[in-house]
A and B are shown apart, each in its own frame.
Chain A
Amino acid sequence: MKRLLRILLLPCALVLLMGADNQEARFQNLGGKIMCTCSCEQMLLKCNHVGCPNSDRMRKELRAAVQNISSDDEVLNWFRKNWGVTAVVEPSRHGFELLAWILPVAGLGLGLLLVIFVVRSWKLRTAPVAPADAVLDPHLESLRQRAQRETEI
């Protein structure tokens, strides 16, 4: 029973440990999704533009938002609302921008369907029949068999 209790407690302890420096991890993670709006085209946490009019303020706002808002999506939406949609370099997971996330997955799914269709059509096709009068060169055939044996091609 004690062993079972320990096994159950271990994941709980791990979860608690994971939350210990969660705020800093969230700050770093979200900072990597927000772009500095001073037109330097750099990510907020990468902006090395001395005297940048925006990055210090944005970083402070991000730190405050990470402390006050629990959902990452809401933090990003807050930045979209206050600094413009181009401030966040990741499409939102709502509305029209959701399409950006769906399209690649849908493309892969359609591709997979296509592959299944191709494989099915190949499997259903009858194998080409060699002409009745085709004479196999025994020397060539022995070489082919040897090559297949040695290289598995």
Chain B
Amino acid sequence: MPLLGSFCLTFALALAAYSFVVGIIAAVRKDAAGFRLAETARRAGMASFVAVLFSAGALVYAAMTNDFSVAYVKEHSNRALPAAYKFAALWSGQEGSILFWCLLLSAYGFVLRLRHKVDQRLTAMASVILAGIQVFFLILVNFETRPFGVLPFAATDGNGLNPLLQYPEMVIHPPLLYLGYVGLAVPFAFGLAALIMRYPGEMWIQITRRWTMVAWLFLSIGIALGGHWAYNVLGWGGYWGWDPVENASLLPWLSTTAFLHSVMMQEKRGMMKVWNAWLVFFGFMLSILGTMLTRSGMVNSVHAFAQSNIGRWFAGDYGWIGTPWRSLPYAYPGFLEVIFAVCLWFYIRNKDHLKSENKLESLVSRESSFLFNNLVLLGACFAVLCGTLFPILSEWVRGYKITVGAPFFNTIMVPIGLFLVFLTAVGPLLAWRSTSFGSVWRAFAIPALISLVVEVILIVIWIRSGIKFWRDISQIYALLAFCLSTLVITTIASEFIRGGRVLKNKLKTNLVFAMYHLTRRNMRRYGGYVVHFGIVVLVVGVAGLAFNQEQEQEMAVGDKLQIGHYTLVGQEYTQDDNANYGSDAALLDVYKDGKFITRLNPERRVYKANGGQPNTIPAKWSTLREDLYVIYAGLNPDTGHPIIKAFVNPLVNWVWLGVLIVALGTGMALVPNTAQIAVRVPQAVAVAAMEKESMQPAGVGK
């Protein structure tokens, strides 16, 4: 099986290389022979997916059948490991995860090539670019991080999977995150193809919008699942620690969010073409950077499950090479530099093609709100990038790596985030081209008043509850977050109601039905509002962090721990042992205001196959209002009593709820509208359509 897997990988590389080289030749030759060559390149690209699929299947098979002659399987699996985690071993180590990258990339390529009739010429060029990316990753997996390395002697058992990864979500979190990362290759390929071909019109934008939204959705869910996993497994009571690997996933998310907004300006007004092209390019480059940070071990992280020197393949390298006579300097570019150089080259050659078609008519307009939205999103992206890479910079300059952690990111990012929420409230109220201040005021007055009232009510409630929020900057930020979230929710509601009223009068129906029709007629716009609603629900959840409480105590049987409204009473402490791990657990009765509500069972496991690595399994009592989160921290060696740590984390479930709403809204925005208004084609559009037709190779559409 390792031999088959290895062969399939080499074959996939040959097919991708063929697809790349012959695709370029076909793009240069514009005759019938060129068209036939392009078709062979397309089919070779599709076949490469089948080859990589076989290869990945071979690795999974080896893990499932405990084939410990394969070094990778020995390192990341063991006999006692449950089957789902054996399957997850495919992406739990570096070699497997790069193979998984190749698999997802070739799968995206397969779908893209399958749907080539959308626009054959553009898809052919995008397919060449995608093949180029495939070639890089297949070279990496064939020569640097080989998953099918065979040991001289088959081991009797493996080292097992990292205990932190032995959690159900770990079976779906990495694939979703990778689907997001890799998915950004498709809009990149279309964007670069359109620039190379000087492709007329905004067709590439329309084609890539859905691809980008799908990738963004996967990325969003992947990031959220990562946070959920951290909350449930790492046992420190939080879900986001500004860890470098978490940041690496946030970078492409922020730049793609900016793109999804600014792309509307290009579609509707023919503006920001340069900006959009570079946003697509940077989005992909940041996803590659994220992959590099996760897999190279360049930065210290609890998520960096691999340490290696593949960083030089991505970022290049420089240094001195020793010869018998003298040392000579050397430097070579990595994949990131090559991509940047290619993008820059074609941008310089074809930048006149990206000129804006319209001018900004007013500073108070939807266009300018998108500009500021992009500025803030990219500013946030830059700030996260600075903080993430600063330890590396400090090592270069000062010789040691400083630590840049959560306090730095919170100081910088919270004000930026709050300003973004403010823009989310204001932006949709502005019309395209120009909006009068009177119109803004009319739309904004009631939401602003409601949010002000909510703020006053909150202040009164907090003061009556003894919360001295003015002493804690995080609670002041939380107050602002609640206020701005109310503002966003009321503006979204007012948009739905305003549009619904117009339709209600027209269709002679009730408001709810009218709002449903309104949404179905413009799924993208109203789906976008639902996404905004999801984001503010998430913001409310994050604001709850300012009110977290924690308490740690040594607890014998019958001892009590008091935290907030809750009382925990130690009932029983047990020990267990199975083939995979040994565990210590506590059984705690939980009372809220003196009333019994549940029994919690926090656990601490020590995995046998990983050199006795301990892992905490928190127990939770979870409601929409707050989570009671309990950890079995360990045994006090002096007294032999367990140490229990409890947290009360308000509004955590709002974070997960917000992500679900974001996913729902994105799904809505992907659904086509119901009512298409048929209009006669004006002369200018007909000419454009004829030009497009003339660009298609002979025989298309017949």
Q: Please give the residue numbers on chain A whose beta carbons come within 8 Å of chain B beta carbons, in ascending order.
A: 14, 17-18, 25, 32-33, 35, 41-43, 46, 48-51, 85-91, 96-97, 99-101, 103-104, 107-108, 111-112, 114-115, 118-119, 122-123, 125-128, 134-137, 139-140, 143, 150-153
- With both beta carbons as reference points, the residue of chain A lying nearest to B631 in the complex is identified as A48
- Which of B235, B237, B405, B631 counts the most A-chain CB atoms under 10 A from its CB? B405
Contact with A along B396-435 (1 / 0, CB 8 A): 0110111111111001100010000000000000011000
Q: Any chain A CB within 8 A of the CB of B150?
A: no
Task: Judge whether B633 and A104 touch: CB under 8 Å.
Answer: no
Partner of B679 from the list A89, A101, A103, A140 (CB cut-off 8 Å) is A140
A–B pairs, 25, beta carbons within 8 Å: A25-B471, A32-B406, A33-B405, A48-B552, A48-B633, A48-B643, A49-B634, A51-B637, A87-B403, A88-B403, A90-B407, A90-B408, A91-B390, A91-B404, A100-B390, A103-B390, A107-B379, A108-B379, A118-B371, A119-B368, A123-B360, A125-B356, A127-B359, A136-B682, A150-B499
Q: How far is the CA of A111 from the CA of B357 in the complex (A)?
A: 22
Size range of the interface on B? 35 or more
Q: What 1/0 mask marks residues of chain B from 355 to 388 whose CB sits below 8 Å from any chain A CB?
A: 0111110010000100110011011001100110
Determine if A89 and B404 form an interchain contact, defined as CB atoms under 8 angstroms apart. Answer: yes
For residue B689, CB closer than 8 A to chain A, the reply is no
Q: Is B323's CB within 8 Å of the partner chain A?
A: no
**Complex contact A143–B379 (CB within 8 A):** no
Known A18-B471, A128-B358; contact A97-B634, beta-carbon cutoff 8 A: no
> What DSSP secondary structure best describes chain B's contact surface?
mixed
User: Please, which residue of chain B has its CB at the minimum distance from the CB of A140?
Assistant: B679
CA gap between A116 and B590 in the complex, in Å: 58
- Bound together, the chains give a CA A119 to CA B367 distance in angstroms of 10
Question: Chain B residues with Cβ under 8 A from A90's Cβ?
Answer: 404-405, 407-408, 411
B394 & A97 in contact (Cβ 8 Å cutoff):
yes
- Do B402 and A97 touch (CB < 8 A)? yes
What CA separation (Å) do A101 and B499 show in the bound complex?
45
Q: List residues of chain A with CB within 8 A of the CB of B502.
A: 150
B654-702 residues with Cβ-Cβ distance < 8 A to A are 677, 679-680, 682-684
Across the interface, which residues of A come within 8 angstroms of B357, CB to CB? 128
* B472 touches A (CB below 8 Å): yes
Determine if B635 and A50 form an interchain contact, defined as CB atoms under 8 angstroms apart.
Answer: yes
In this complex, what residue of B is CB-closest to A51?
B637
Q: A50-B643, A123-B360 are known; give 11 further A-B pairs, CB within 8 A.
A: A17-B468, A25-B471, A32-B407, A33-B407, A97-B394, A115-B371, A115-B375, A119-B368, A122-B359, A134-B684, A151-B499
Determine if B432 and A119 form an interchain contact, defined as CB atoms under 8 angstroms apart: no
Tell me which residues across on chain A come within 8 A of B468, comparing CB atoms.
Answer: 17
CB distance from A76 to the nearest CB of B (A): 10
A-B contacts at CB below 8 angstroms, number: 147
Contact between chains at B682 and A140 (CB < 8 Å): yes
In the bound complex, CA of A104 to CA of B405 (Å): 15
Q: Is B522 an interface residue (CB 8 A)?
A: yes
Partner of B236, one of A18, A48, A152: A48
Mask of B628-652 contacts with A, CB within 8 angstroms, 1/0: 0001011111000001010000000
A111 to B375, CA, bound (A): 6
- Inside 8 A of A127's CB, which chain B residues have their CB? 358-359
Chain B nearest CB: distance from A138 CB in Å? Answer: 10
Residue in contact with B382 in the complex, picked from A14, A18, A50, A108, CB distance below 8 Å: A108
Instruction: Give the distance in Å from the alpha carbon of A75 to the alpha carbon of B502 in the complex.
Output: 62
Judge whether B633 and A50 touch: CB under 8 Å.
yes
- Asked if B1 lies at the interface with its beta carbon under 8 angstroms from chain A, I say no
Alpha-carbon distance between A127 and B357 when the two chains are bound, in angstroms: 8
B679 and A143 contact, CB distance less than 8 A: yes
Provide the residues of chain A in CB contact with B406, threshold 8 Å: 32, 43, 89
User: Interface 1/0s, chain B 284-323, versus A by CB < 8 A?
Assistant: 0000000000000000101000000000000000000000
Among B302, B397, B645, which residue has its beta carbon within 8 angstroms of that of A48?
Answer: B645
Q: Nearest Cβ in chain A — how far from B123, in angstroms?
A: 30
Asked if B408 and A89 make an inter-chain contact with CB atoms under 8 angstroms apart, the answer reads yes
Q: Which of A18, A32, A107, A126 has the most CB of B within 10 A?
A: A107
| Chain A: CB-nearest residue to B634 | A50
Cβ distance A112 to chain B, nearest Cβ, rounded Å: 6
Q: Is the CB of B680 within 8 A of A140?
A: yes
Cβ of B236 to closest chain A Cβ, rounded Å = 5
Residues in chain B near residue A115, CB distance under 8 A = 371-372, 375
Contact A119–B382 (Cβ < 8 Å): no
**Bound form: Cα–Cα A134–B636 in Å:** 85
